Structures are given as C-alpha cells and as structure tokens.
Amino acid sequence: MIEFFSEYPILLWLLEIAYVIGIIFLSIKIILDTQNVSKTLGYLLLIIFVPIIGIIIYFLFGVNFRKNKFYNFKIQKNKQVYEKIRSFAATLHKNTIKNTASPLLKNSLNTIQFLFNASQSIITQGNQVELLFNGENKFPKLFKVLKAAKHHIHLEYYIFNDDKIGNQLAEILIEKAKEGVIVRFLYDDFGSRKMKKKFLAKLKKAGIQICPVNKIKFKLLANRINYRDHRKIVIVDGKHVFTGGINVADRYINPNKDKFWRDTHVYIKGNAALYFQYLFMTNWVFAIEKYIPNASSYFIKSPQNFGNKLVQAASSGPDIKPSIMLSTTSSIYEAKKRIYITTPYFIPVAPILNALKSQALAGIDIRLLVPKTGDSKLVNAAAFSYYEELLKNGVRIFFYEKGFIHAKTMLIDDYFSSIGTANMDVRSQELNFEVNTHIYDKEINNKLCEMFFEDLENSKEVSYPEWIQRSSTKIFFEHFARLFSPLL
C-alpha cells in the first residue's frame, strides 16, 4: 500500500482532501442535527481526534435516523389520541387544583402547571398509593391485580426476560387472555433482546397482542441506544397502575443474596391511571401504526375516589418536551429544607447540576445515594467526575454497599416524592421514553424517607477531603470519561 501511494502520490493527496472535506461536512451535520451543546462538542472531539473510531461511534449512536418518524408521525398520533380525553382531562386537572386546599400543591404549583402545559400531564386526587420496595414486594401485588383483571391489561417494559419470574407473569397473561381479557404488551427491542422467539410465539398463540417499540432490524448497524423505551408501566382495567424502576427479570427478586438488587416501584389505584393509559396508548399506536378500536372505553369516564393521594406523572421522550429534566430542576429549586436523591447513574445535565449546587449553597440538606460500584467502568468514572464539585458545594454523597441500588427516587421537604424510570443522565433526561410519578403527600414522603435512611445504613458517606485524595491517574481517567458523558 505504501509503495502504491509513493508511486501515485496524487491519489494520496486526493484521498486526504476528500477526508478533510468529509470531516467538514460531517461536522456541519453534527452541529445542525445535535441540539445539546455538550453532546455536539463530544461528537466533534471524537471525529477530529479519534477519526475512524469517532465516525463509527457517531453513526452507531448519534445519527438521528428516525427523526422525521418520531417528530412528525408520533406527535400527530399523540394529538389524535389526546383528543379523546382532552375535555375530561383538562376539567379533572383544573378541579383538582381548585378543590384542593392543601398547601402541598401551593409549594409545587409552578411545576404542576408546567407539566400540564408541556406534556398534558394532569394532577389528580382520589388515588390510593402503595410503595413497593424491591421485586419481592412488587410481583406478588402485581400478580394479584392481574389475576383480577376484567377488561384489559396493558404492559410496557424496557426489560422483560423469559426467565422464572418472566414465565410466571406470562402464564398469568395467557390465562387472562383465554378468559377474554384484552392483553397488549409493548417491549423495548434492545432492552428485551433476551426474549426468545419461542417465548413470544407462545404469547401470540394465546391471543396476546405484542409489539416492540422502535424495532431494531440491524442491531450492530442501528443507532440502537437512542430513543429506547425505558418505561415500566402496567395498567389494569383503566384504574390500576404499576410503575417505577423494576423490570421483569429474576435479578429483581433477589434470588442470589450475594448480589442484592435494591429497587423501588409504586402501585396506584385511581384517577392517575388516565394519563398512564394515554402514554401507553400513544406508544402502542406509534408501534403498530394502527388505532385501538373503541379507544375511549379504556379511559375512566368520571372521577373516582379510591384514596386521598395527589398524583401527577412527568413523562419524557423524543416526541415531547424534556419534561422530566425541566420538572426535576424546578422541583429542586422549590425545596425549602431537604432533597434526598437515589439514582443508579448520576451524569447530570447542566440545569440539574447547577440547581443542586445552588440549593446546597443556600443551606438545603441535599443527599445523593448512588451505587458504590456501577455496571460500567466508563459510566462510573464519568459520574465520579461530578462528585468533587458537589461535595465542595455542600452536597452529601453516600455509596450504597449492600449491592446494586437501581431505584430512581427523589423526595423534597416533607410533601413531595418522585418514583420513576428515569436515571439522572443525559440519555434518560433527553432521549428515552421515560415516566416519573410525582406524589404530593406527607405519608408517602415519610415512608420513602424511612427507606432512604434504611439504605443509608448500608452505605458509606464520602467526604470532600477524602475524595480529593484520589490519585492523579484516577482523576484524569474520570475527567476523560466525562468528555463522553453526553454520549453515555
């Protein structure tokens, strides 16, 4: 090859010019297509300083191949589905605010109204709410409610494995389908890639309607990480909802006590199911590209009273505004006393990072609970790079040591609790389909706080003087990994 180009130097010169022109045009494309500044800089650094590998990484993970499909087709379908509930939903939202004298709403009114205006998310009263800690508590409750289903069961999961717990759940779904209950099952094609065709065929044979969200045809060539459906939602008969951090896989029920998996889910019965039903149905219509027959029958027709909890959902995805990121930031600024956050992946976007530092400097008690060891060295290192500035500004950080903590929760003062599917990273905040549940209630807040302090007993706090003693090599690797944080 060297001899060939030495004989024909003009060809090498032409290739070099073509390469430079290609890099320039690719850089322009990245600048035009990528709205996030840090992500834009990350991709530009990759293709310039690591040319071949950087270009491959960008085309695998960065190119928005489905931009038009997501931002046109799905937005249009969302509006058409919402039209079926617009009048009732808007009235329910306004009446909840009007009829609730509780000061709990006043503290968060800006966030509540933002979510309604940004993503049509309504706040509802009359809900029963139960916190479910770990899979050992979630699945018995889920199975009980599923077995009592009369009309329909809607499931949407990022990870659904056909292992022991997955097959137990599948058998219930098959039995209910045989009884005439309508069962629809959405799954993420990347997260649930371990599901075998034989398993899916068994579900379809029983009459269960199944479809992946954002199907991947060529896993090695697609931008497979972007726009994943990271939600975990089950809706039964339009009034029961299960959502949170727990997927369907054996590891969530802790069969191996040496590899403890700590997670949090929530069960809701009541009017809050209306919005979760809307989220499921818009993703279902998008996935199968067909409307659900008699769709209005899947929504509640009038307000019901199952409890006294105020509930609102914050959703995000490529089809709507980054409501989770913006509502999280808003909620942090509304805190007056304390903010306790649990997350398995902490690679925050700038607004959330700045809000935490600002509130910590204002004297708010801010505590961050994260795993001692993550499931990715690069992600772990990128997260570590943020801890020094947080500690320096007064945020307290705790490393969970009992196992892996996968819960995504936030409690603020003594009235606000959030249990969700979204991690505190760029991918969850800006790209994936996610949903967090906001509960405005002192009792739920107190229970979540008790669990937080129980988790702290299995954790070790790190201090600022201790943290800055890390080796220079480790610090360099962490800050190097941070350069890739918009891509993680």
Of 90, 448, 81, give the one whose Cα is nearest residue 292.
81
Report the sign of the C-alpha dihedral through residues 110, 349, 373, 457, in that order.
Answer: negative
pLDDT top residue among 236 and 225: 236
Question: Does the fold of domain 323-487 match that of domain 67-105+125-311?
Answer: yes
Q: What residues contact residue 443 under an 8 Å CB cut-off, 6+ apart?
A: none
Which pLDDT value is given to residue 383? 84
pLDDT top residue among 58 and 445: 445
Residues that are catalytic: 230, 232, 237, 406, 408, 413
pLDDT at 59 over 70: no
pLDDT at 224 over 50: no
> Exposed, middle or buried, 25 (CB in 10 Å: 0-12/13-18/19+)?
exposed
272-312 pLDDT, tens digit per residue, is: 999 999 999 999 988 887 778 887 788 887 788 999 999 99
Q: Give the pLDDT band (50/70/90) at residue 473.
A: confident
355-407 pLDDT, tens digit per residue, is: 999 999 999 999 999 998 876 777 778 888 899 999 999 999 999 999 999 99
Which pLDDT value is given to residue 23? 72
Report the sign of the C-alpha dihedral through residues 34, 37, 42, 48, in that order.
Answer: positive
Contact 424, 387 (CB under 8 A): no
CATH code assigned to 67-105+125-311: 3.30.870.10
Report the sign of the C-alpha dihedral through residues 382, 388, 393, 397, in that order.
Answer: positive
The residue extents of the domains of the chain are: 2-62, 67-105+125-311, 323-487
Fold of domain 323-487 = Endonuclease; Chain A (3.30.870)
127-155 pLDDT, tens digit per residue, is: 999 999 999 999 999 999 999 999 999 99
200-223 pLDDT, tens digit per residue, is: 999 999 999 999 987 776 555 444
Which pLDDT value is given to residue 221? 47
pLDDT at 340 over 90: yes
Q: Give the pLDDT band (50/70/90) at residue 45.
A: confident
Which pLDDT value is given to residue 290? 79
241-276 pLDDT, tens digit per residue, is: 999 999 999 999 988 777 899 999 999 999 999 999
What's the pTM? 0.87
pLDDT top residue among 218 and 441: 441
Which pLDDT value is given to residue 62? 62
Alpha helix (H) ranges present in 148-268?
A: 164-178, 197-205
Q: Give the pLDDT band (50/70/90) at residue 6.
A: low
Of 113, 92, 84, give the one whose Cα is nearest residue 278.
84
Distance CA 123, CA 44 (A): 42
345-358 pLDDT, tens digit per residue, is: 899 988 999 999 99
Distance CA 4, CA 466 (A): 58
What is the amino acid identity at position 319? Answer: D
Distance CA 266, CA 409 (A): 11
Alpha helix (H) ranges present in 206-294?
A: 273-288
Report the sign of the C-alpha dihedral through residues 224, 227, 232, 234, in that order.
Answer: negative
Which pLDDT value is given to residue 223? 45
CB atoms within 10 A of CB 15: 11
Which pLDDT value is given to residue 360? 97
Which pLDDT value is given to residue 61? 60
Packing angle, helices 472-482 and 377-392, rounded to 10? 100
Which pLDDT value is given to residue 172? 97
High-pLDDT (> 90) share of the chain, % = 54
Cα distance between the two ends of the chain: 37
Mean pLDDT, all residues of the chain: 86
Q: Give the pLDDT band (50/70/90) at residue 318.
A: confident
